[in-house]
Chains A and B, each alone.
Chain A
Amino acid sequence: MHSTRSSATEMSEPLLSIRGLKTCFATRAGMVTAVDGVDLDVYPGECLGIVGESGSGKSVTFASVIGLVRSPGFIAGGSIAFEGVDLRTLSDEGWRSLRGRDIAMTMQDALTALNPALTVAEQIEEVILAHANDLPRGGRRDAARLRAVEMLRLVGIPAPEKRIDDYPHQFSGGMRQRIMIAIALSCRPKLLIADEPTTALDVTIQAQVLDLISDLRRELGMSVALITHDLGVVAEHTDRVAVMYAGQIVETGPTRELIDRPRHPYTKGLIGLIPRLSDLDAPIRPIDGQVPELIGLGGTCRFYDRCEFRTPRCRTDIPMEAVEPNHHARCIRVNEILRVEEVLQ
């Protein structure tokens, strides 16, 4: 068995600690519970992957963390502690000084996340000017500009001092993604929320951007919450992973172990979707069925309808259970499934 468990997870206090988070959207059809009782920790310096398909609640979970759940959504319960401070008690000014400085975010598509009407220079400098308190008096703007150029160089924009006054549309997709990362990291945040950082990019650029994030994480010593629907990305770039399904975390553990020995049937299904270089002829097996509507759920395992292992006993709310000290799954048949796996191998 692998022991690639991140040493950070055992040694230190979590940087971010989410408990019982519940985020709802009031829609015409009824109350949609997009995030339903999520517990999650992010430790200093680690990269946590959050995997799930669209609508699983992974993005909404972290929109809640940074306090930017879009209307008509709202946090209905639970706590979000960052360095011991409950973010739900923050004032507007508290949020303002936290965002960008302690917790930063990148979005899926830099083309829509960067303001088309403002220069790259202005969009980076404003973050630095908002948060840096070590800029020289009288020369704040010049100092901010120097730092902005430095950041662009750090993320690999060629000739940044010349290109900084260009507008976002004058850059290629990959360069725009790098600019967005430069903006997010310009105040050296402790936590970066990277929401689908590669989905909008060509495959060749994807690896570059992910490597960039990994390199900068080590260089700046920050934590990264990498939100993705691609377990292949998770396998390569994260220390731990949380799998989300229909608003709940269904499995969480060290990345290597979770991928080698998945316990939840949904995780197993996701892993079946990764093409393997060692066995290119192996068929990719899609998971049948659809994610349930997130209205009025409860009283049954949410994966029940799509599960190959379902039994009548699954028709109840299933708690998370430890299967290893750092590995938890929301399934009552984890041990049976593991045995099946061993027999098959």
Chain B
Amino acid sequence: MNPLALVGRIAQLLPVLLGVSVIVFVMMALTPGDPVEIMLSGQQVTPEQVQAMRHDMGLDRPPLERFAVFLGNALTGDFGLSFFHRRPVVDVIAERLPATIELTLAALLIAIAISIPLGVAAAVHKNRLLDRLAAVGSLFGISLPGFWFGIILIILFAVHMQVLPVSGRMDYACEVAPFTRLMTIDSLLRGRPDCLADALSHLILPALTLALPMAAVLTRVQRAAMLEVLRSDYIVFAQAKGISRRRVLWRHALKNALVPTVTVAAIETGSLLGGNMVVETVFGWPGLGRLVVESIFVRNYPLVQAAVLFYAVTYVFLNFFADLLYTMLNPRVRL
């Protein structure tokens, strides 16, 4: 791998970030509503007090100037104070991020564990029962809305069977000293199997809700890629060598057929990190998605700005990571 490639990617990132900042700023500026009014609604305040608060937040200055100040500060790593938390935006985001990362990773793992074997099996048994079932299952997974599926899972496992908690991330009884801030991993590291079980019981339903639509897409992609690869000469040649069928499929075919799956998985992971607001809300998951939704409602400009920039950075790096995986899967690709 060429270290220059990483530098190149970071250089590409700068214009993306600038563009994203402009768009988010303009959209927030055009959205009707005033954070000060929202914060002070229902309270007895004088116009002077309102004015003082606006000045305090820098909202009395013209938009262009506000944008320039934001950019200048952002370049030094200062994204300002969250209007509501009265703490640096970066701290607030950092607090919520691990929950979202944990949920995303869990969903990604489940989706991969389902889709790759299923996609391969569907391709191998093309047009037979298993393939048809996988196709129907994928169609459901793609077309059913995530929140609906989440609610069904809650009704089934939390309300009727009462085997899993309805919402939240961890029982209050479990206090694990933070290390990675991923509850499952920290419980493991601190040797608390009871907390691990608790964390997993909270994690499983939201993770499944996110994983199933993703698995549906990845299964289709994996099946199509595998069918394409199975037609290649090198598969016939591998069979002619008399090596085991398992090796032909899982080594010769899959290594080539993983490339499109990796691409799509990277994109899907990016959108999970940024876009699981609905599922986080349904399950009361204390992640970044919910924080951003709440912040938009109360016009918490600094937090929304910083969060969206974070999404953009994540996206670019996930794609870079996917490209790195390509070079491992396909040696002809050079970064």
Given the complex, which residues of A lie within 8 Å of B242, measured CB to CB?
95-101, 127, 130-131
Which residues on the B side are within 8 Å of A169 (C-beta)? 331-332
Which listed residue, A66, A92, A113, A184, touches B234 by the CB 8 Å rule?
A113
Check A167–B331 contact: CB distance below 8 A. yes
Return the contact of A70 from the options B236, B243, B247, B252 (Cβ within 8 A): B236
Residues A167 and B332 in contact, CB atoms below 8 Å apart? yes
**Chain B residues within 8 Å of A167, by CB:** 331-332
* Contact pattern, B 12-37, Cβ under 8 Å of A = 1, otherwise 0: 00000000000000000000000000
Collect the chain A residues with CB atoms within 8 Å of residue B331's CB.
116-117, 167, 169
Contact B239 A115 (CB under 8 A): no
Known contacts being A99-B240, A100-B240, A126-B241, is A118 close to B252, with CB within 8 Å? yes
Q: Is the CB of B243 within 8 A of A127?
A: yes
Given the contacts A115-B252, A117-B255, A169-B332, A96 and B244 also touching, CB distance less than 8 Å = yes
Distance in angstroms from A264 CB to nearest chain B CB is 31
Chain A proximity of B125: nearest CB distance (Å):
13
User: Within 8 Å CB of A161, what residues of B?
Assistant: none
Q: State whether the Cβ of A107 lies closer than 8 Å to any Cβ in chain B.
A: yes
- CB interface residues, A 52-96, toward B, < 8 Å: 66, 68, 70, 92, 95-96
Closest to B330 in A: A117
Inter-subunit contact B330/A116 (CB<8 Å):
yes
The proximity string for B residues 61-100 relative to A, scoring 1 for CB distances below 8 Å and 0 otherwise, is 0000000000000000000000000000000000000000
- B247 CB contacts on chain A under 8 angstroms: 126
Check if A222 is an interface residue, CB within 8 A of chain B.
no
Chain B hits for A113, CB < 8 A:
233-234, 236-237
Q: In the complex, what residue of chain B is closest to A70 when comparing beta carbons?
A: B236
Are B255 and A183 in touch, CB under 8 angstroms?
Answer: no
Q: How far is the CA of A174 from the CA of B300 in the complex (A)?
A: 66
Q: Which residues of B contact A115 (CB under 8 A)?
A: 234, 237-238, 252, 255-256
* A109-B233 CB under 8 A given contacts A115-B256, A169-B331: yes
Complex contacts, B255 vs chain A, CB 8 Å = 115, 117-118
Contact (A114, B332) CB under 8 Å given A130-B242, A130-B244, A131-B242: no
Q: Which residues of A contact B239 (CB under 8 A)?
A: 68, 99
Q: Is B9's CB within 8 Å of the partner chain A?
A: no
Q: Is B232's CB within 8 Å of the partner chain A?
A: yes
What is the distance, in angstroms, from A224's C-beta to the closest C-beta of chain B? 15
By the criterion CB–CB under 8 Å, are B251 and A118 in contact? Answer: yes
A116–B255 Cα gap in the complex (Å)?
10
Chain B, residue nearest A131 (CB): B242
Q: Is B190 an interface residue (CB 8 A)?
A: no
B312 contacts A by Cβ under 8 Å: no
Closest 6 CB pairs of A and B: A100-B242, A99-B242, A112-B233, A113-B237, A100-B241, A105-B240
